[in-house]
Homo-oligomer: A and B are copies of this chain.
Amino acid sequence: MSLSHAILGLLQYQPMSGYDIKQFIDKSVNYFWSAKQSQIYRELAGLEKRRWVVSALEKQSGRPAKRMYSPTGAGRTEFLRWLHEFPAALVEPVRDEFLVHLFFGNGLPVEETLFHLERYKKEAQARLDYFTALAAKLKNGEAGGDCAGERVYWLLTLAKGIKMAEASVQWADESMAVLNAIKREPPKKGVKG
C-alpha cells in the first residue's frame, strides 16, 4: 500500500514517467524509501487500473518516448485519504542482514568481522555526507524546485536520515574498538586458567 500511495503523492507535484520517479527516489528520499524500476512500472499500471492516474506518451527527439503519468481527481482524493491514515505502529520492523551476521560473529575470525565493520562505516559515512550536502542545498533553495511548504517536511525526513547515519558511523567505531580490545586480550573461557 505504501509504495503505490507514495508514487501517487509524488505525482501531485508534477507529471512524471516511471524512469523519472526512479531517479527522484534514488536521489532524494532514498533514506526512507526505495524501489526497483520494475516495481515502479507495476505500481503505475495498478494506479492507472484503479483510475487514480492517467498516462500519455510524450515524444522526444533522439530518445525513447516517455509515458507521463498524472493524478486524476479520484487520485488526489485517494491520496489525501491515505495521508490521514497513519500506521498503528509507527516504528517499523527492521530486517538487517548485516546485523544478523554480526549476531553470529562468534563463528567468524575477529579480523573478518572488523573488515566488514570498516566497510559498513565507510558506507554509512558516504550516506551521511550525501544527505548533509542535500540538506544544505534544500535549505538554500537550490534543490526541491518551486515547493516552498514542502521544504520543511523534506528537511525533517532528511534530518532523520542524517541522525541515523551519524549514529551508524559512531556505532561502527565503538564496535570496532570493542573487537580490537578482544583481539589484544582474548576472553577467558570457563573457570580454568
B-binding segment of A44-52, A67-75, A81-89: A81-89
Assuming A148-B189, A178-B156, A187-B149, is B32 touching A91 (CB within 8 A)?
no
Q: Looking at chain A, what size class is its interface with the partner chain? A: 35 or more
Residues of B within 8 A of A91 (CB): 98, 120, 123-124, 127, 168
- Contact: A33 with B98, CB < 8 Å? no
A84/B112 in contact, CB under 8 A: yes
Known: A90-B119, A91-B168, A148-B187. A2 touches B97 (CB 8 A): yes
**How many monomers of this chain does the complex have?**
2
Residue from A106, A152, A156 having most chain B Cβ neighbours under 10 A: A156
User: Which of chain B's residues have a CB closer than 8 A to the CB of A95?
Assistant: 2-3, 32-34, 92
Across the interface, which residues of B come within 8 angstroms of A12, CB to CB? 104, 107
Rounded to whole Å, the gap between the CB of A107 and the closest CB of chain B is 5
The interface residues of chain B lying within 8 Å CB-to-CB of A34 are 93-95
The interface residues of chain A, by DSSP majority, are classed as: helix
Q: Name 19 extra pairs, CB < 8 A, besides A79-B104, A92-B96.
A: A2-B97, A6-B100, A9-B104, A12-B104, A31-B99, A32-B96, A33-B100, A34-B93, A86-B101, A91-B124, A91-B127, A102-B153, A104-B153, A105-B152, A106-B150, A106-B152, A152-B178, A152-B182, A163-B168
Give chain A's interface residues, CB within 8 Å of chain B.
2-3, 5-6, 9, 12, 29-34, 79-80, 83-84, 86-87, 89-108, 112, 116, 119-120, 123-124, 127, 148-150, 152-154, 156-157, 159-160, 163-164, 166-168, 170-171, 174-175, 178-179, 182, 187, 189-190
